[in-house]
C-alpha cells in the first residue's frame, strides 16, 4: 500500500455552495501531511468526508486501503480530532478518555494505564481524577488529543490541532506529533497557519474555494516556486559595491537590510553573471544565495493568482 | 455489540453517580409517604376553644348542648371546648361580648336563641372562624341537643333512638380475575394513580435526560468522534438502554423499599400513628407487577427513542425546552383523565387510550389495577405497543443518524421527513 489516504475527484455540494470541488490528493505513509487553506476553503468538509461523517456527492475516498463508507472497521484505526472539540463535561478526565479508547477497541485496564502515562507526558497527571469541566480549554484540548492518539491509530486526522493552545502547549503538541510520526504513523492535519505547517509538514495540499491550488512535497514546492530572488552579502561596505548594486542592469529590484542585499534579478539575467561581476569588486562576497519562498508566500501567490484566473474566466 | 455495552455502561454510571440520582432515590419514597401519611397525621389537629355561651332557649336544651360540647361526645373530633355561661339576653350582652372577644377573654361566643326549636338556628361568632371542624362540632352538638329535646317531647328515649337510627357502612372491594377479593375503591384509585404517576415521572425525567445528553453530544461534536467508532444506530441503542437501566435501577431500589415497608407495615403504621390499612395500597399481586414493569419498560423505550431523535434534530437547549412539553403530552394525557379511567375502566375512552401505543403505557396499568381486564385486550395493547416501539426506533434511528451530525440551523419538519425517506 503506497498511500495511507487517497482522495480522488471528490466533490461535495451543500444547498447553495460548492464546498469541495473535484479534489484529489494522496497522503504517503509515515509522513505529516498538511491540508492548508483560508477559512472556508473546504478543509473541514474534506476531513469529514474522509471520516464518513458526510458522504461525498461524487469521487472516491480510500482510507488505509479500504472504503470508510463500506467498511467501518478502518475507522477504528483512525484517530480523529474534530475542529470543535468536546468531551463529556461531567466525567472524570481519566474516565472520559478511557471511554473513547474502549470504543476504539482497547480493553479498559490497559487503556487506563496508557491514558495515565499520556496524561503525565502532557503534564496533566494531577488532573486525572478532576472533572472535565474544571479544566481550562487548552487542557481539555490536550485531553482530547490524548483520546485521539492513545489507542495507537495508524492514522491521525487533526482538524486545526493548534487553535486555542498557548505557545508552550503548541510546542508540546508539535513534539508529540513528531513522535507519533517517528513511530511510523501517518498524520494529516489541517491549518491556516503557514509557518506552523512549514515547520511540521513534509507534504501539503493547498486548497481554496474547495479546489486544489497546488500540492506536493514541501521541499519540491519551494524549489519549483522560487522566483528570481537572491541574497547578496559583502564582507565590508564599500562605495564600489554601493554603485554596483544600484546601477547594474542585472537587478530589477534591490533593498538593503543591514549587510544583506535582497535582490530580484531582471528578466533573462543569469545568476552566474551576477556572481562573476560581484567577485570583481573591491570587497569579498560573503554570501550569494537563491532565496526559497516561504510556504506563506507560495500560498498567497497561488491563491491570489487562482482568484485572478477565476475572475478572468468569469469575464470571458 | 461490544460498543453498545461500553456506551450502556457509561450512560448508566454517568446517571447513577450523580447527587441528583441519590437524592431522587431517597426523596421520592419520602414524598410518597408524606402524601399518604401527612393528611392523616395533620388533618385538623385537635384545637382548644374557650367560648362564652348565651342561652335564651330556656328549655333545658342549653344544658344538654353544654354537656355535648364539653364531653365531645357528639362531636367526636377530639377538639376541646370550655363554655362559660353568661347570664342575660344577647341583645343586652352583644356589645360587651364583642368587646371581651376582642380583648381575647374568649375565642368567641355561642348564642342559643329563644326560638331555637322552630328556627333551627344557633349563632356563633369568633375572632377566628377558619376551622370548619369547630363549626361542624357546634352544629352537631346543637342538632343532637335539639333532637333529644324533640324526642323527649314525643316520649321517646334518645339512647334507643340512636341505636335504631344507626348508619350503615359499605364494605367495598374489587373482585379480581382469579375470583379473590382485591382492595377497596379508594385504595384502588390511589394505587392505580401511584403506579401511573411513577411511570409518568420516571419516563419524563429520564426521557428528558436522553434528549439533553444527545443534544450535548451533538453540540459538543462528541458525536463526530463517537460515530467514527460506533455506528449511529448502536449509539442510540446504547444510550436509550443505558439511561433506561439507570431508571430501572432506581425503580428496583424503590420496589425493595416498598416490599420492606409492606412486610413491616404494622410496625411503621404504629410508629407514625396511622391505621395499618393506610399501607394496604402498597401490596401488589405478582402478575400485576409483571405487567406494570412490561408497560413501563416498553413505554419508556418508546418515548426514549422519540426523545433521542428529537435531541438529534434540535440545535439548542432553548429549543429543547419548548419541544419537550408537546412531546410529553400523550404520555401525560391519561393522568389528566385518571379518575375516569379508574372509575370506568371498561369505558370506550379507557379502552381507546389503553390500545393507542403512546397512551397505553399509563392507561393500562391504571385499568389493570382497577378491574380485571380481558387477557385478549391486554395482549392487543401490548402487541401494538411493541409494534409502536419498533416503528419509533426505525424512524427515530433515521432522524438520529442524520441529525446528530448535521450542523447549522434547525431542520424544518419537511426536512426531517426527507431524512426519514432518504436515510
How big is the A-B interface in CB pairs under 8 Å? 55
- State the Cα angle at A61 between A57 and A64, rounded to 5°: 160
pTM of the predicted model as reported, rounded to 2 decimal places: 0.73
In the prediction, which pLDDT does A14 show? 84
Chain B 349-408, CB below 8 Å of chain A: which residues?
405
Residue of B nearest to A47 (CA): B224
- Any idea how long chain A is? 316
In the prediction, which pLDDT does B266 show? 66
The single residue listed with the C-alpha cell 389493570 is B368
- Any idea how long chain B is? 423
Residue of A nearest to B227 (CA): A53
Nearest CB neighbour to A99, from listed B10, B224, B228: B10
B217: which chain A residues are within 8 Å (Cβ-Cβ)?
Answer: 86
Q: How far apart are alpha carbons B301 and B238 in whole angstroms? A: 12
B418 vs A: CB within 8 A: no
CA atoms within 13 A on the CB side of A13: 6
Instruction: Dig out the grid coordinates for B386 from the structure.
Output: 411493541
Dihedral of alpha carbons B332, B337, B341, B346, sign: negative
Q: What are phi and psi of B218, to 5 degrees?
A: -70, -50
Return the HEC string of A46-88. HHHHHCCCCCCCEEEEEECCECCCCCHHHHHHEEEECCCCCCC
The single residue listed with the C-alpha cell 497561488 is A302
Distance from CA of A304 to the nearest CA of B (A): 29
Q: Which residues of chain B fall below pLDDT 50?
A: none
The structural domains of chain B, with segments of one domain joined by +, span: 2-32+181-422, 48-163
Q: Provide the Cα torsion A48, A49, A50, A53; round to 10°.
A: 60
Q: CB distance B14–A91 less than 8 Å? A: yes
Nearest CB neighbour to A99, from listed B6, B219, B220: B6
CA distances from A140 to A88, A94, B247 (A): 10, 12, 30
Q: Give the pLDDT of chain A (316 residues) as one tens digit per residue.
A: 478 899 999 999 887 888 898 999 999 999 999 999 888 888 989 998 998 888 889 999 999 888 888 888 888 899 999 887 788 888 999 999 999 999 998 999 999 999 999 999 888 999 999 999 999 988 999 999 999 999 999 999 999 998 888 888 888 899 999 999 999 999 999 998 888 888 899 999 999 888 888 888 988 888 888 778 888 888 888 888 888 888 888 888 888 888 888 888 888 888 888 888 888 888 888 888 888 888 888 888 887 877 777 777 666 6
B18: which chain A residues are within 8 Å (Cβ-Cβ)?
Answer: 90
B14 vs A: CB within 8 A: yes
Neighbour tally for B117: CB within 10 Å: 14
Q: How far apart are alpha carbons B19 and B336 in whole angstroms? A: 31
B20 vs A: CB within 8 A: no
Dihedral of alpha carbons B307, B311, B316, B319, sign: negative
CA distances from B390 to A243, B319, B357, B380, B393 (A): 89, 26, 11, 15, 5
A61 forms beta bridges with A7
H-type helices in chain A, by residue range?
A: 43-50, 93-103, 108-121, 137-149, 167-182, 194-200, 218-225, 239-247, 271-279, 295-315
A83: which chain B residues are within 8 Å (Cβ-Cβ)?
Answer: 221
CA distances from B111 to A160, B63, B149, B318 (A): 91, 13, 17, 63
Q: CB distance A54–B10 less than 8 Å? A: no
Residue of B nearest to A51 (CA): B228
Residue of B nearest to A68 (CA): B228
Nearest CB neighbour to A80, from listed B217, B225, B230: B225
A147: which chain B residues are within 8 Å (Cβ-Cβ)?
Answer: 225
A103: which chain B residues are within 8 Å (Cβ-Cβ)?
Answer: 3, 6-7, 226, 229-230
Q: CB distance B221–A84 less than 8 Å? A: yes
Distance from CA of A79 to the nearest CA of B (A): 9
H-type helices in B264-359, by residue range?
A: 265-272, 286-313, 317-336, 338-343, 348-355
The single residue listed with the C-alpha cell 475542529 is A83
What is the distance, to the nearest Å, from the Cα of residue A166 to the centroid of all Cα atoms in its chain?
18
Q: How far apart are alpha carbons B355 and B358 in whole angstroms? A: 9
Nearest CB neighbour to A82, from listed B10, B18, B224: B224
Q: How far apart are alpha carbons B235 and B231 in whole angstroms? A: 6
- Confirm if A64 and A52 have CB atoms less than 8 A apart: no
CA distances from A74 to A71, A149, B12 (A): 6, 15, 29
What does the pLDDT look like over B311-322, one tens digit per residue? 888 888 888 888
In the prediction, which pLDDT does B73 show? 55
Neighbour tally for B248: CB within 10 Å: 19
B contact test, residue of A54, A81, A99, A143 with most B CBs within 10 A? A99
Neighbour tally for B215: CB within 10 Å: 24
Q: DSSP code of B347?
A: S
In the prediction, which pLDDT does B164 show? 79
A154 vs B: CB within 8 A: no
> Domain spanning B48-163: which CATH class is it, in words?
alpha beta
Nearest CB neighbour to B222, from listed A52, A78, A86: A86
The single residue listed with the C-alpha cell 375516569 is B340
Nearest to B346, CA basis, from B326, B372, B385, B325: B372
B242: which chain A residues are within 8 Å (Cβ-Cβ)?
Answer: none
In the prediction, which pLDDT does B76 show? 61
A75: which chain B residues are within 8 Å (Cβ-Cβ)?
Answer: 228-229
Amino acid at each position: 500500500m503506497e498511500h495511507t489516504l487517497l482522495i480522488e475527484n471528490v466533490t461535495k455540494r451543500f444547498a447553495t455552495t460548492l464546498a469541495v470541488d473535484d479534489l484529489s490528493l494522496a497522503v504517503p505513509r509515515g509522513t505529516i501531511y498538511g491540508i492548508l487553506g483560508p477559512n472556508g476553503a473546504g478543509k473541514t468538509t474534506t476531513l469529514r468526508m474522509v471520516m464518513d461523517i458526510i458522504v461525498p456527492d461524487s469521487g472516491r475516498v480510500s482510507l488505509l486501503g479500504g472504503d470508510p463508507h463500506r467498511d467501518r472497521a478502518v475507522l477504528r484505526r483512525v484517530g480523529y480530532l474534530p475542529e470543535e472539540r468536546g468531551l463529556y463535561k461531567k466525567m472524570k478526565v481519566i474516565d472520559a478518555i478511557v471511554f473513547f479508547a474502549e470504543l476504539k477497541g482497547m480493553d479498559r485496564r490497559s487503556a487506563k494505564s496508557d491514558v495515565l502515562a499520556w496524561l503525565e507526558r502532557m503534564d496533566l497527571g494531577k488532573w486525572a481524577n478532576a472533572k472535565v469541566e474544571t479544566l481550562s480549554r487548552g487542557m481539555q484540548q490536550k485531553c482530547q488529543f490524548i483520546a485521539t492518539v492513545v489507542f495507537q491509530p495508524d492514522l491521525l486526522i487533526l482538524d486545526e490541532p493548534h487553535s486555542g493552545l498557548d505557545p508552550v502547549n503548541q510546542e508540546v503538541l508539535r513534539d508529540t506529533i513528531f513522535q507519533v510520526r517517528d513511530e511510523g504513523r501517518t498524520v494529516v492535519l489541517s491549518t491556516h497557519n503557514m509557518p506552523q505547517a512549514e515547520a511540521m509538514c513534509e507534504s501539503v495540499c493547498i486548497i481554496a474555494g474547495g479546489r486544489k491550488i497546488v500540492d506536493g512535497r514541501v521541499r519540491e514546492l519551494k524549489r519549483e516556486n522560487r522566483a528570481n530572488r537572491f541574497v547578496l552579502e559583502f564582507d565590508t561596505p564599500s562605495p564600489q559595491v554601493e554603485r554596483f548594486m544600484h546601477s547594474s542592469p542585472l537587478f530589477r529590484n534591490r533593498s538593503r537590510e543591514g549587510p544583506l542585499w535582497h535582490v530580484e534579478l531582471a528578466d533573462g539575467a543569469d545568476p552566474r553573471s551576477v556572481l562573476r561581476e560581484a567577485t570583481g569588486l573591491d570587497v569579498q562576497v560573503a554570501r550569494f544565495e537563491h532565496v526559497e519562498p516561504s510556504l506563506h508566500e507560495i500560498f498567497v501567490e497561488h491563491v491570489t493568482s487562482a482568484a485572478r484566473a477565476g475572475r478572468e474566466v468569469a469575464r470571458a | 455489540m461490544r460498543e453498545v455495552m461500553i456506551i450502556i455502561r457509561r450512560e448508566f454510571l454517568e446517571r447513577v453517580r450523580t447527587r441528583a440520582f441519590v437524592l431522587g432515590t431517597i426523596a421520592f419514597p419520602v414524598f410518597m409517604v408524606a402524601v399518604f401519611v401527612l393528611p392523616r397525621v395533620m388533618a385538623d389537629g385537635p384545637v382548644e376553644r374557650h367560648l362564652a355561651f348565651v342561652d335564651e332557649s330556656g328549655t333545658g336544651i342549653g344544658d344538654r348542648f353544654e354537656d355535648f360540647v364539653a364531653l365531645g361526645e357528639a362531636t367526636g373530633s377530639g377538639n376541646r371546648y370550655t363554655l362559660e355561661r353568661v347570664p342575660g339576653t344577647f341583645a343586652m350582652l352583644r356589645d360587651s361580648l364583642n368587646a371581651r372577644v376582642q380583648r381575647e377573654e374568649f375565642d368567641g361566643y355561642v348564642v342559643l336563641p329563644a326560638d331555637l326549636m322552630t328556627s333551627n338556628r344557633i349563632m356563633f361568632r369568633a375572632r377566628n372562624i377558619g376551622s370548619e371542624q369547630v363549626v361542624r362540632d357546634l352544629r352537631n352538638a346543637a342538632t343532637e341537643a335539639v333532637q333529644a329535646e324533640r324526642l323527649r317531647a314525643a316520649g321517646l328515649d334518645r339512647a334507643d333512638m340512636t341505636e335504631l337510627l344507626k348508619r350503615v357502612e359499605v364494605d367495598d372491594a374489587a373482585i379480581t380475575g382469579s375470583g379473590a377479593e382485591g382492595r377497596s375503591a379508594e385504595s384502588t384509585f390511589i394505587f392505580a394513580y401511584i403506579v401511573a404517576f411513577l411511570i409518568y415521572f420516571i419516563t419524563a425525567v429520564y426521557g428528558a435526560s436522553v434528549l439533553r445528553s444527545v443534544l450535548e453530544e451533538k453540540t459538543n461534536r462528541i458525536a463526530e468522534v463517537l460515530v467514527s467508532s460506533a455506528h449511529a444506530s448502536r449509539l442510540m441503542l446504547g444510550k436509550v438502554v443505558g439511561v433506561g437501566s439507570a431508571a430501572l435501577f432506581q425503580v428496583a431500589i424503590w420496589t425493595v423499599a416498598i416490599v420492606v415497608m409492606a412486610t413491616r407495615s404494622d410496625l411503621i403504621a404504629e410508629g407514625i400513628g396511622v391505621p395499618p390499612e393506610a399501607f394496604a395500597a402498597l401490596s401488589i399481586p405478582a402478575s400485576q407487577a409483571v405487567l406494570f414493569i412490561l408497560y413501563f419498560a416498553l413505554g419508556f423505550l418508546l418515548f426514549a427513542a422519540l426523545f433521542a431523535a428529537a435531541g438529534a434534530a434540535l440545535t439548542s437547549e432553548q429549543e429543547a425546552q419548548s419541544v419537550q412539553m408537546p412531546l410529553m403530552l400523550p404520555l401525560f394525557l391519561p393522568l389528566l383523565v385518571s379518575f375516569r379511567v379508574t372509575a370506568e375502566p371498561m369505558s370506550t375512552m379507557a379502552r381507546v387510550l389503553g390500545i393507542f401505543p403512546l397512551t397505553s403505557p399509563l392507561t393500562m396499568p391504571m385499568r389493570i389495577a382497577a378491574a380485571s381486564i380481558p387477557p385478549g385486550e391486554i395482549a392487543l395493547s401490548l402487541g401494538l405497543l411493541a409494534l409502536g416501539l419498533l416503528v419509533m426506533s426505525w424512524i427515530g434511528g433515521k432522524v438520529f443518524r442524520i441529525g446528530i451530525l448535521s450542523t447549522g440551523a434547525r431542520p424544518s419538519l419537511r426536512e426531517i421527513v426527507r431524512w426519514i425517506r432518504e436515510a
